[in-house]
Structure 1
Amino acid sequence: MMKISKKVLYSFFTFLIVMGVVSAEVAAFQADRHIGVVRRFKPDVTVTNLDLEKYIKLNLSENIGEKLFAGDSLFTDPEGFALVFFMDRSVAKVKPNSLLIVNGEVETTRKSSNTRINLERGEIFLNVEPQGNNDFEVATSRSLASVKGTDFGSKSNGYTWVQEGQVDVTALNSGQTVSLFEKMFAQVDEPGNNIESGTLTDQELSNLNEGFDEVDNNLIRKEVILKFRDQNGQLREIIIEIFEEEGQN
């Protein structure tokens, strides 16, 4: 029996995901569009949507590239990690004991999107691509972080830190807003009235980022240019960022 290498299988799954993105780009008329894709995960991770009676416990043999739609919730158990790719090419790393709800929409005819993550529990770290006309937000019960392109982390208790770029943090109850830049943090108090902010030391920043690399070790980021013809026969191209595993044989 012919043996199929892990590298071939990985490339095949990557191809399927990319083709799914292309199909979404071409079929702009479709109303129900996914916002993100669970690209990698470590058990146990669950995707649910109570309104749709959806409950999927992700399985490595069946749920590679599981799509996330508006209203979907993603749970990670005490040992679970997840890596989520959004359609605007932003990436979220989700730590154990986390619960997030994704919302938003993708409008390919206008090349715009808006994404909102409601972080109900736990921690996430995000690499958000420069947004242009797009909107990307992370909300907790206390705070709202508006992002235009940055690397930053967020906790469900209203704590936000920035590794690179800029994040505007707003206290939900009072409306107070502060702008955070590289190596800065903000903590919104429990009533959502006041924001404490300041600068992080290199060690403090390193401690906050610790553990988020559990799902992206040995990954190489690559850009793939895909060309296709739209419904009007016009030649178009999109750039897709994919991640390939290093050292797979």
Structure 2
Amino acid sequence: MKVRFDATGEVVLVTGGARGIGAALAAAVNAAGGMAVVLDVTAPPDGIEYVEVDVADKAAVEVAVKGVLQRYGRIDGLVAGAAVQPRSAVLQMDAAEWSRTLQVNLDGVVWVCQAVVPHMVAQRSGSVVVFTSGMASTGYAGAAAYAASKAALVAFAKSLASEVAGDRVRVNVVAPGVIDTDQFRSANVGADREHWQDTIGIGDPDDVVGPLLFLLSDAAAMTGSVLTRERAFAKLTSFTDLHGVMSD
């Protein structure tokens, strides 16, 4: 079965889309005929529209989203991927690190949803995707703040999904597994990287694009769901293979 994604006329907002999974998705949306707009603190690759904003700043997020709506008149998809992943043991973690992690990873998703979802409700259409992590259920030594933020996002997304389901707005969660991004490399060196490579494996940003396009599309008649890249699935196929099947 082959599926082609057509995003003609659609606008997709991607937070944290300057690099990694977000940048790969933005390029794919544009290639499918849509308009991807990245919200990030750094610029994405050339050819991708960009608004500089720190998602932890609620007022700045509201201004950025208002500007996108003024330019394009609609937002059809929101992929909230902005995150930080500091590493420190709980007993050595300072208050600023804890607060910053939650402000970006959790508050930033709340603020962008508050700015975007009312317009999707008015349109009676839209898809929101947020990211969680396997660490949300297992924890990970040295990454308590990150793990806690990702666990909270699952509950937040499921709650929001329940609130807006009647307005034909979908909210789903992706747990992409371990993906080789700049952030992953800075947070996982030496033994940590070897651990991931030897257990569930390390994927590429493009591996996640197919599932994200699916969740953004009208083929994904589901909400409040968590799509997970498990090791068993990875042994049979990869997200790259799935994307190839869905887009060739």
Name the TM-score class by shorter chain.
under 0.3
Q: Taking CA–CA contacts closer than 8 Å with sequence separation of 6 or more, which of the two structures ends up with the larger relative contact order? A: 2
The TM-score with structure 2 as length reference comes to 0.27
Q: Please say which structure displays the higher CA radius of gyration.
A: 1
Q: Which structure is higher in helix share?
A: 2
Higher strand share: 1
